[in-house]
Structure 1
Amino acid sequence: MLLNALAFIVMIGVLVVIHEYGHYRVAVACDVKVLRFSVGFGRVLWSRMRGETEFVISALPLGGYVKMLDEREGPVDPSELHRAFNRKPVLQRAMVVVAGPLANLVLAVLLYASVNWVGVSEMRPWFAQPSAGSLVAQAGMRVQDEIVALKRDGRAAEAQSDDDAEWHAIRSMNDLQWWLTSSALSGHDIVLRVQSRSAPDQAARGERELHVSLGQIKASEVDGDLMTRIGLTGPYADPVVSRVMEGGPAHKAGLRDGDKVLLINGVAPTDATHLRQVIRNSQRNGQPLPLSLQIQRGQDTFGVNVTPVMKEIQGQSVPRIEAGLGGPPAVVDVRYGFTEGLKLALDKTWGMARLSLEMLGKMVVGQVSVKNLSGPLAIADLAGQSARLGWVYYIGALALVSVSLGVLNLLPLPVLDGGHLMYYLFEGVTGRPVSERWLERLQRGGVAIMLVMMSLALYNDLARFVGAH
């Protein structure tokens, strides 16, 4: 929890500084007098004057602000009226406001590009046995198939985009999850190009194409479990014993770490997932059934009998042999050159921004569940998990949250930057500013909407936290 909190504070601090610096830099360029640049709210912990601007760090590190000279917030010396924010042309005011969200989006591009250039180890898109009857199983996917490319079919969508006919290389699980999510939200079927790793001969290991009816998935069903929902049960792992718990059935039967299971009840397990499923099914009337295993240990092969014990797992009593099963998933180093890495960073930032807007729009009309909203606890958990994996993963998480912050602030809600842009659009079209009465009404409505969104997000965070424990 301490690491999560520290990683979260650093993440929010960086994003707030970049966001407010965007406002500050463009305000100065437009000759607006900036009175204060604050990171955080509430009681001032540290301050320093630099020129005419006071830079401060405040006690509550969940945001920040740039305070500019403005007649609406207090009297302004006549000699400085030309530097008041409210006296500037509409276009300049709009530029100052939009600079904050754009700074977050630019930061995301640079962070994603850095990750692409440095490189990162990610899980290889090489899969275990798909779920029986699932979409990918119906398409013909088999155990140890590796997905190497994907394209959108477009037949299930109302309109096709320019890249529907393009094949997109899939280098990792993250690549695949991104394309599956965006395709499902837009209602596209997909075509997967897969390569078999389990075929008995080299000739049968060539690439083949599988049509997956992804358009059958409703937008409301697009969430973090999408891959499982379409039948991708997880990365392929050999059916080996990875960790034997002392005193458990596996330990009492003489099993050791690294033992490979060749047969279980006379059937060769296709992978670790299949092996776990056979063990889970080894019961009758709530009582565990003995298992007959054929084990390979080094050059030796021998038989072992194991009787599982019943354990309570998520409210259900299931047989367990008290051993970790499955070798480590295969990984691949994903790294790009300068130009390709920058282009992919631009594409990913734009894609994530568009995906966020699509999700929010579908939430508003009820096509996507509001359970997909995440709040500060989820962000803190993401920050902590990525920090534990390493700084490259932390930078990737920072980029993701930076995109979300930029998109959120561009929403046309009165309390956000996007709301102010709507005011300026109205002023630019009509030639007059929004009246004070309407400003007050819209401000109250915006605050109410934000409070509802924040409450839902916090409730979802707590529900996930409680469900995970």
Structure 2
Amino acid sequence: MIESPGLLLTLLAFVLVIGPLVFVHEMGHYLAARWFGVKADAFSIGFGREIAGWTDRRGTRWKLGWMPLGGYVRFAGDMNAVSQPSAEWLALPEEERNQTFQAKPVWQRAIIVAAGPVVNFLLAMLILGGFAMAYGDTRTPPVVGTVLENSAAARAGLQPGDRIVRLGDRDIHVFEDMLSYTRIHPAEKTTVAFERNGQVQTLPVTIGVDQQTDRFGNNYRIGMLGIARGDRVTVPVSLFEAPVVAVRRTGEIVSMMVETIGQIITGRRSVKELGGPLSIAKVSGEQITLGADAFVFLIALVSINLGFINLLPVPMLDGGHLLFYAIEAVRRKPVGPEVQEWAFRGGLAAILGLMLLVTFNDLGNFGLWQSLASLIG
């Protein structure tokens, strides 16, 4: 039976995921700017018309926009899209001009811009570290317990007791490393290196495909070798070990994201798997019905996603700004405003195009196009 969290719960869950993460991201920018003496004119959660807000004693307008799909901090002196000095900026009184973003050296501007994504990663690490302390760290040895009949592992010749040491280009240290690799490589031909009787052998293997459907009716195509582990080994994690485990898990998630994007770019994975805000809303509603643990873990994943995407070197994103600051540091002078303006226009067009694509995919996943086709037919 397919379970649905309902529209209201889905919307609430989406706001509870996106709202705090956008706030944390923008707060990273804001606090770094405050540290370097940059005045903020506005701090907004959401875009569009203001529905609520107040002005603090520093003159910063804190507000909520009616469209809760992002946010921004507008710093003093932000008079153009590329945040470069202009005649209007030069006309400001010196004391006021010194509190603007443009007046700061390039390294300070870079820190202010990078602070948003960095805080997203730190929040995710805090959550993952907390989970590690609460539930321990799974470190099951990558030893084959049993081999399923007619599975990819059986066809490759793996046997119980074999210790997997490498899959494709990935070193395998624990059983979970093998699971994370196979999940995102369904039907791919690769090699498996394993230790048997003290000897390391390498065999070709074609990872199997498993079509799964969850309780919400979502279909997944994942890879699997067809190996069952032995006894699961979970070790307790102390307060001092938690940051190390959190950094490692965050790195694994980012690595999986990079690899998945690479598969889409090279055509090994369909672009239809790219999702947008509607997909996030749907998953948020589903995860909140599964309990607090699942929902908080989703927040960590989305926070990593938000930090990672914002660091991509695309104009309009934080990574695009950092790219220009890196060029400025090397050239010892900023990139011309005309070049930046055209780059930002191109970046905006790319982002809008991507948003259209993922929205199209989301609507398709919700069955809209199939319903329309049946009506027309």
Asked if these proteins are the same fold (TM beyond 0.5), I'd say yes
Q: CA 1:392 to 1:217, structure 2 compared with 1: closer, same or farther past 3 Å?
A: same
Q: CA 1:148 to 1:391, structure 2 compared with 1: closer, same or farther past 3 Å?
A: farther
Structure 1 spans left out of the alignment, 5+ residues: 194-208, 236-329
Structure 1 Cα separation of the partners of residues 232 and 155 of structure 2: 27
SS of match in other structure, 1:83: coil
User: 2:37 corresponds to which residue?
Assistant: 31
The correspondence of residues 44-443 of structure 1 with structure 2, limited to 5 A, is 44-52=50-58, 53-70=60-77, 72-73=79-80, 75=89, 76-119=92-135, 130=148, 132=150, 134-139=151-156, 151-153=165-167, 156-157=168-169, 164=171, 167-170=173-176, 177-181=179-183, 189-190=191-192, 213=204, 216=206, 224-227=220-223, 230-231=225-226, 336-443=237-344
Structure 1 Cα separation of the partners of residues 274 and 317 of structure 2: 18
On the 8 A contact 1:149/1:168 being kept in 2, the answer is: no
Structure 1 Cα separation of the partners of residues 311 and 175 of structure 2: 32
Task: After TM superposition, give the deviation of residue 190 of structure 1 in Å.
Answer: 4.1
TM-score, with length taken from structure 2 = 0.76
Structure 2 spans left out of the alignment, 5+ residues: 1-6, 81-87, 209-218, 372-377
Q: What amino acid does structure 2 have at the position aligned with 1:152? A: R
Q: CA 1:432 to 1:72, structure 2 compared with 1: closer, same or farther past 3 Å?
A: farther
Structure 2 Cα separation of the partners of residues 13 and 192 of structure 1: 46
On the 8 A contact 1:139/1:210 being kept in 2, the answer is: no
Summarize deviations over 1:353-386 as a string: whole Å, max 9, x none: 2222233244334444322312112211221222
User: 2:212 corresponds to which residue?
Assistant: none
Structure 2 Cα separation of the partners of residues 334 and 224 of structure 1: 30
Q: What amino acid does structure 1 have at the position aligned with 2:30? A: Y
On the 8 A contact 1:374/1:458 being kept in 2, the answer is: yes
Task: After TM superposition, give the deviation of residue 183 of structure 1 in Å.
Answer: 7.7
Summarize deviations over 1:33-54 as a string: whole Å, max 9, x none: 1111111111112212223122
SS of match in other structure, 1:40: strand
Task: After TM superposition, give the deviation of residue 151 of structure 1 in Å.
Answer: 3.5
Q: What amino acid does structure 2 have at the position aligned with 1:43? A: R
Structure 2 Cα separation of the partners of residues 185 and 51 of structure 1: 60
On the 8 A contact 2:185/2:222 being kept in 1, the answer is: no
1:456 aligns with 2:357: yes
Q: What amino acid does structure 2 have at the position aligned with 1:7? A: A
Of 454-463 and 30-39, more deviation after overlay is shown by 454-463
TM-score, with length taken from structure 1 = 0.62
| Aligned Cα root-mean-square deviation (Å) | 4.0
Q: CA 1:114 to 1:212, structure 2 compared with 1: closer, same or farther past 3 Å?
A: farther
On the 8 A contact 1:7/1:383 being kept in 2, the answer is: yes
Structure 2 Cα separation of the partners of residues 77 and 357 of structure 1: 46
Task: After TM superposition, give the deviation of residue 129 of structure 1 in Å.
Answer: 8.3
Q: How many residues align?
A: 340
Q: CA 1:59 to 1:334, structure 2 compared with 1: closer, same or farther past 3 Å?
A: farther
User: 1:245 corresponds to which residue?
Assistant: none
Q: CA 1:451 to 1:466, structure 2 compared with 1: closer, same or farther past 3 Å?
A: same
Q: What amino acid does structure 2 have at the position aligned with 1:464? A: N
**Partner residue of 2:16 out of 7, 10, 27:** 10
Q: CA 1:385 to 1:116, structure 2 compared with 1: closer, same or farther past 3 Å?
A: farther
Structure 2 Cα separation of the partners of residues 426 and 8 of structure 1: 38
Q: CA 1:91 to 1:227, structure 2 compared with 1: closer, same or farther past 3 Å?
A: same
Larger radius of gyration: 1
Structure 2 Cα separation of the partners of residues 459 and 334 of structure 1: 44
Q: What amino acid does structure 1 have at the position aligned with 2:245? A: L
On the 8 A contact 2:189/2:204 being kept in 1, the answer is: no
Structure 1 Cα separation of the partners of residues 287 and 249 of structure 2: 19
Structure 2 Cα separation of the partners of residues 408 and 185 of structure 1: 28
Q: What amino acid does structure 2 have at the position aligned with 1:438? A: V
On the 8 A contact 1:23/1:98 being kept in 2, the answer is: yes
